Amino acid sequence: MNRYQGSLSGVLPVFQTPYLENGEIDYATLKREIDWLLECGSDGVVMAMVSEVLRLTTAESRQLSLRVCEIVDGRGAVVISVGGESNKIAIENAQHAESVGATAVMAIPPVSIGAMEVELVAYYEAIVNAISLPVVVQDASGYVGKPMSIDMQADLLHRFGAERIFFKPEATPIGPRLSALRDATDGQARIFEGTGGIALVDSYRRGIVGTMPGADLIRGIVALYQALQAGNERRVYELSLPISAIVAAQHSLDAFLAIEKYLLVKQGIFQNTIVRGPRAYRLDRETVAEIDRLYQLLCDVLEKP
């Protein structure tokens, strides 16, 4: 397979994992999803939390990583989530991702413990030293775990350099913490917005290099990112308002999964909305109706020249 040769930046959506009715991964639909994401203007794809990585077996995760790299085949970046509950697990995940052709890896801290900071530093050092790829440090505390300190994250960059360490901060308050990380690294930190697009406008103005949204709103996110790059303020807010309203309904990981899969079915990409259980959230009729209204508003904006 061809490893992507471009920069790690731009719009890198986290793909949803589709399932067959028997619960196995649906690789035909996965290919349709990834091809569609790239055709819509994505700069690559990411396998991460809303890909249900925490609900896959080790064998499934390995196979999914391989198949994603094969499907993309150098057409964009591939970022693979490799975080684990021990240094050994994370190292093996990272080495596998590199062996199958990933462009970069991304790692959340262990989720079963609130690790001491010195232990987290050792965890990320172990991942970086095990591979030659860039490592995206993901503070996933919006879903799991606790926020990582700005000083710790900046120290990792100072140790390994901006070519090896990237960031996806999700701890609140998003904007001020993003700026603090930027300033603590003298503007060297390469940061991805990671809130599904709801903080994309504010984050862009604070100096991000890209965004890692969900797959469902990719046409809107690509258009919004292009409007930000072009400085088209009117279009920025026409697009960001319905996008933000849809993402605001996704108040938990399982809400993200449910709404994103619903919209992927609505757009003809997925065959069903199966999410692996046990789940903590199900869509109700009123939520579906509001999502439909907001999505139509977004489509109306996208149809404008």
Residue list for the binding site for pyruvate: 212
Binding residues: 212
Name which of 298, 222, 301, 231 is nearest 267 in CA terms: 298
Q: Is the C-alpha dihedral spanning 42, 43, 49, 52 positive or negative?
A: positive
User: What span, in angstroms and rounded, lies between the C-alpha atoms of 124 and 106?
Assistant: 10
**104-107 vs 210-211, strand pairing mode:** unpaired
Q: Is the C-alpha dihedral spanning 287, 172, 237, 79 positive or negative?
A: negative
Sheet containing 135-139: give its strands across: 10-11, 210-211, 190-193, 165-169, 135-139, 104-107, 77-81, 44-47
* 37 sits in which H/E element: helix 27-39
Whether the Cβ atoms of residue 210 and residue 12 lie closer than 8 Å to each other: yes
